[in-house]
Structure 1
Amino acid sequence: MTETLLDRHDAVLFDLDGTVYHGTRPIPGAAEAIAHVRERGGNVRFVTNNAAKSPEAVAEHLVRVGVAAQPAEVSTSAQAAAALLRERLPAGAVVLVVGTASLEAEVRSVGLRPTRQYDPEISAVVQGHSPDTCWSDLAEACLAVRAGAWWVACNLDTTLPAERGQLPGNGSMVAALRAATDCEPVVAGKPEAPLLRTAARSSGATSALVVGDRLDTDIAGAVAAGYRSLVVLTGVATAQRLLAAEPGERPDYLAADLTVLTREVSVAELEIGPQPGWRVTVEGAVATVENTAADGDRLGLLRHLCHVAWSSPVSSVRAADPLAEKALASWDLG
């Protein structure tokens, strides 16, 4: 009997932009894949580093792009930051908020008292993205951090995608406060573990699977949290980036997109490792690819190459035959 990913994992933690949608455009097959996870009895969580939007707003956006979602299924870095504050601070402690009203509401929901101005009673500072953050907000936070307040950043994303291009993200504002205080924040969002662990706990998962398109946030977060991960190639991950991945950002499974969750594909086929149809040998730092079966799968080749590159120093890849050359060219390799 074929063991699939949904047989092995009882909850799937989905990244959003680049995995489920591109801004306002749904990624083909994503909605059907998420529905299939639910039909199979798996729990679903939508995990986002975005601390500016409430779970209700995120769920509404998902519904607009055709993905059924409830606010309770959404886990944000604002929620993860609030959970960290609750674990460390006594009830009623004062927390200076740099971010949106949604972040402020999360702080209040865990029994803490949000404020926007410095006061000697402040126990912590929590910082999340807001397009309205200005110098005066950072100044209040600076005073609090320099006075010894515990500093939590929702995420360190230096940029965020917009229709006009990449714009400054929360990490850019965090960098300004870091420069002014010589302090480092505790980080709640990906690639750190708290956000994914909060999402997994809320789903009751015993074996969560993290799915995303970014190695440096989604997959690195999964590694930090101790969860298995699937990288999909619908966002920023590329073949070259995968081959160069550091140990802390290497996925367990690789697929083209989320539709793999709807098919009876074996775990063994999706795992990074040797794949049928290909032989890869390494001499020096050069990997040579040879096709050994006419139906050799190009995704299988990429999984095989990742296995080789992650265990041996590989600086270049070359083909030994026309079929291998064609497959490598499809990944912009060779």
Structure 2
Amino acid sequence: MTGVKSPSTPNGPAVLLGSAQPLAQAYDCALLDLDGVCFAGEAEVPHAADSVNGARAAGMRLTFVTNNASRAPQTVVDKLARNRIQAKATEVFSAAMDAAALLHEHLEPGAKVLVVGGEGVRQALTDTGFVVVDSATDAPAAVVQGWDPAVDWAMLSEGCYAIIAGALHVATNTDATLPTERGFALGNGSLVKAVANATGKDYLAAGKPHPGIYQRALRRSGGTRPLAVGDRLNTDLTGARASAIPGMHVLTGVSSARDVILADPAERPSYVHTDLRGLLEPHPQPTRDAQGTWHCASSTARVTEDGSLEVDGTPLTGASAALGLDAYRALISAAWEHQDTARATGSSAVITVPEITVTHEDDRP
């Protein structure tokens, strides 16, 4: 993001960064994802409340940035409160609010907008001066589409009628799936593609992974040294890297440790941790020695010539492995270097990565 500087702004190769200070001191603003980071459906995420409240107490500004367009800001605050996390409505920036901001770049306030979505989208539009209508016969200038359980065939079809008649189509986000207690359900992006297929028209997209949501959320927060925090590589961390904002990945949501190790450069976080305790701790910098072994604190990792992984001198040969946090960081660095070198030379980047469980030092028996 232009004008944003920090001690560890990601430039050049996508590598893990280090911070001698706790991240809540090294950065002045956290752009926090919600689902999978601050809570998990109706369940609490371990350590989330103490960590977020602790970061606030340390002086860090907090903005809760979510692709969920169905919740109004106060609804988000109430849900956070049930998870013992302090928040204010002015600290919430949703994909619905981002879509409204994006729409202001194309339409004047007072324009009619048809909502294919729920109360979160309607409130975001009315709060910023648009007139919400319910029918294509009202000749709306735009259709804003966001996920909500109330979205049905009739609502999707009404959006199609308006878009075919010339209305601008704006998606609050393009997430293909939505995590639920039963698994992954249809996300807004899948429904947006259905409308686009029916109309034959292109659409504008707000939300993550597009960098605009982080840029707009940061301007709203007043922070100058931001850190993005998320659990999904293809939304939270891709958006952070596209914005040149350092990102911390946590293992309490969708993307696994194995996913991080195999991540494409555009999806890679700048920091990793098991959970939001990473806000309150320093992050040791992984380093490489002349023999190609990566070191992080007292742990080492390397990729062997046959593409297998080795941690602290022991090959990872099974279907699963348990690692400490520093070993995980060293392993990530070794795997990323191997894959980047292979891309640069046109050689094979195949590595064998088991399922990885990462344990914080404080959680070891």
SS at match of 1:122: coil
**Separation of aligned partners in 2, 1:27 and 1:102:** 24
Letter in 1 for 2:350: S
Match of 2:262 among 222, 226, 244: 244
Q: Which residue of 1 aligns with 2:5?
A: none
Letter in 2 for 1:275: C
SS at match of 2:132: strand
**Separation of aligned partners in 2, 1:181 and 1:269:** 50
SS at match of 2:84: coil
CA apart distance, 1:30: 1.0
**Separation of aligned partners in 2, 1:151 and 1:330:** 41
CA apart distance, 1:244: 1.5
Matches within 5 A, 1:62-73: 62-73=80-91
CA apart distance, 1:202: 1.2
Q: Which residue of 1 aligns with 2:350?
A: 315
Match of 1:23 among 17, 41, 57: 41
Matches within 5 A, 1:235-274: 235-263=253-281, 265-266=282-283, 268=285, 274=295
Match of 2:32 among 10, 14, 32: 14
Equivalent residues of 2:23, 2:280 under 8 A apart: no
SS at match of 2:229: strand
Equivalent residues of 1:288, 1:317 under 8 A apart: no
Could you say if the C-alpha distance between residues 181 and 71 of structure 1 is closer, same or farther in structure 2, counting changes exceeding 3 Å?
same
Normalising by structure 2, we get a TM-score of: 0.80
Greater fraction of residues in helix: 1
Equivalent residues of 2:286, 2:333 under 8 A apart: no
Q: Which residue of 2 aligns with 1:87?
A: 105
| 2:326 equivalent to 1:291 | no
Could you say if the C-alpha distance between residues 250 and 155 of structure 1 is closer, same or farther in structure 2, counting changes exceeding 3 Å?
same
CA apart distance, 1:79: 0.5
Q: Which residue of 2 aligns with 1:158?
A: 176
Q: 1:218-248 CA distances to partner (integer Å, 9 max, x unpaired)?
A: 1111112221100011122222211221111
Equivalent residues of 1:224, 1:248 under 8 A apart: yes
**Separation of aligned partners in 1, 2:351 and 2:357:** 13
Matches within 5 A, 1:37-116: 37-116=55-134
Aligned-residue Cα RMSD (Å) equals: 2.5
Q: Which residue of 2 aligns with 1:213?
A: 231
**Separation of aligned partners in 2, 1:278 and 1:290:** 5
Matches within 5 A, 1:124-163: 124-163=142-181
Q: Which residue of 2 aligns with 1:300?
A: 326
Identical columns (%): 37
Equivalent residues of 2:302, 2:335 under 8 A apart: no
Count of aligned residue pairs for this structure pair: 317
Q: 1:73-132 CA distances to partner (integer Å, 9 max, x unpaired)?
A: 111111110111112211221212111133112112211221121148422111011212
Equivalent residues of 2:301, 2:334 under 8 A apart: no
Q: Which has the higher contact order (CA 8 A, sep 6+)?
A: 2
**Separation of aligned partners in 1, 2:275 and 2:243:** 23
Could you say if the C-alpha distance between residues 49 and 184 of structure 1 is closer, same or farther in structure 2, counting changes exceeding 3 Å?
same
SS at match of 2:334: helix
Any runs of at least 4 consecutive aligned residues in structure 1 with deviations exceeding 6 A, and if so which? none
Could you say if the C-alpha distance between residues 241 and 330 of structure 1 is closer, same or farther in structure 2, counting changes exceeding 3 Å?
closer
